[in-house]
Amino acid sequence: MGLGLAATSGAIYLYADHLENKKKEMQKELMKPEDYGTPSIGGPFKLIDQNGKDFDSTVELAGKKALLYFGFTHCPDICPEELDKLGMICDKDPSVVPIFVTCDPRRDTPAILREYLRDFHPRIIGLTIEDGGDTEPLQSMAKAFRVYYRPARTGSDDYLLDHSIFFYFLHDGKFVKVYGKSSSVDEIVGDIANSGK
């Protein structure tokens, strides 16, 4: 009887081990990146820069690597921290086109962006719409990049915006990868340097 029990236990163990291996194989198959494809994020956009000049991504970003960040100039802490990070990335990789896109075009006119971005890095391009212009191009761009932003109204012009905090890495104007707040300067610079190799 003991021998039969041992044989049964051994068979159960082997079968359980077989099932565990099958499960791992299935998980590997499910996790293959090619099974998911590239998410549909981004697309061409046309806005104006902090100097009032037209910025057409299909022209300005052709053949270039860029980092986009969506924020607003009245942001008390997060946007300045992320723009400092963007400045450090620019210093480590001069080939990167750094872009700050406002989520608050009502207050962030080209002149305001120009003044604001001076404090961070001379190469950062600020994008907005014409003062009092149609917000549709900016709204369409935010939707294409799946950017979340919403004003937290206080009943005055002194309001904040709740917004997503990401850097969008583009190559030749096309989305490659997104980086969250926890991503380091070295991680981002390394990814950009290794892209397209």
9 or 67, which is more confident: 67
**98-111: burial string, b at 16+ Cβ within 10 Å, e else:** bbbbbbbbeebbbe
Cβ partners under 8 Å of residue 102, min gap 6: 70, 71, 72, 73, 108, 113, 126, 127, 128, 138
The string of pLDDT tens digits covering residues 125-178 is 999 998 878 889 988 998 999 988 776 665 567 777 777 899 999 999 999 999
Query: Is pLDDT of 91 > 60?
Result: yes
Biggest CA–CA distance in the chain, Å, is: 89
pTM equals 0.77
Element (H, E) at 179: strand 174-179
Contact in structure between 82 and 98 (CB atoms under 8 Å): no
Domain ranges of the chain: 2-36, 46-194
Q: Please report the pLDDT score of residue 27 as a whole number.
A: 47
Q: What is the CA radius of gyration of the chain?
A: 24
* Alpha-carbon gap, residue 173 to 29, rounded angstroms: 31
Does pLDDT of 26 surpass 70?
A: no
The correct answer on CATH 3.40.30.10 for the domain covering 46-194 is yes
Collapsing DSSP to helix, strand or coil, 86 comes out as: helix
Percentage above 90 pLDDT, the chain: 58
Judged against a pLDDT cut of 60, whether residue 9 lies above it is answered with no
**Which of 18-27, 56-65, 101-110, 154-163 bottoms out in mean pLDDT, i.e. has the lowest?**
18-27
What pLDDT, on the 0 to 100 scale, is given for residue 158? 74
Beta strands in 24-88 (DSSP E): 46-49, 54-56, 65-71
Q: Which residues lie across from 119 on neighbouring strands? A: none
- Surface-to-core class of residue 90, CB atoms within 10 Å of its CB (0-12 exposed, 13-18 middle, 19+ buried): buried
Q: What is the mean pLDDT of residues 49-54?
A: 96
32 contacts: CB under 8 Å, gap ≥ 6 = none
Report the Cα 189 to chain-centroid distance in Å.
14
